[in-house]
Amino acid sequence: MWRTSAPSLLALALAASGLAAQAPTAQDSVLSRQLKARPADSLGRLAVPEAAGRAVRPVTPRDNAALVVALERKIRCTCGCNQDVYTCRTTDFTCTTSPAMHQLVLARLDSGMTEAQVLDAFQKQYGEMVLMSPPKRGFNLVIYVLPIVGLGVGLGLVVGVVKRWATASPPAPPEDAAAPEAGTATPEEIEQLKRALEKFEA
């Protein structure tokens, strides 16, 4: 009488339910070679998205549309990388925050929001720190105006100093070093001059 062992029955049940371990495919071998050839970089980011253990959503032209990329470059990823959403989602495949924020950008654009409205929505949700550049209003204007004012003041000081140097009169020589006035020869000098003239006439 033919008997089936318990392990064999378990293997048959797994195979029937589709949970049995599958033999490595050619794609798995390619992925393994890619992981060995392209390990994680100095920041620990993986070169192959599949290695992060999450399914990769197919990239569509809409994902990299000019408006989407421009918007995501203005929004900071909240995963702590301090990069914009576009850079984070296209370079750090271990991050799950930037893809979620990317989907939120797409959803808000699909709902009819403009670029400014999408940025305002992110700012209300996360605060001003989510923006890569602070908005040009209120106290934030100081950040944009102060460097220009400082540069103007510095240039003004330099021009003033140069003008002062250019128009300043040369210092007068000290009194003891002043040359004697014309016609104030001493008696000794007059006598020497007379003797010299007498010798010349002779």
pLDDT in tens, 161-184: 888 888 876 666 666 555 555 567
pLDDT recorded at residue 40: 53
pLDDT recorded at residue 130: 93
- What are the phi and psi torsion angles at 131 (to 5°)? -90, 135
Domains, the chain, in order of start with CATH, read: 61-130 (1.10.8)
pLDDT recorded at residue 166: 80
pLDDT recorded at residue 140: 55
Give the chain's residues under pLDDT 70. Answer: 1-56, 135-146, 169-183, 202
pLDDT recorded at residue 202: 64
pTM: 0.46
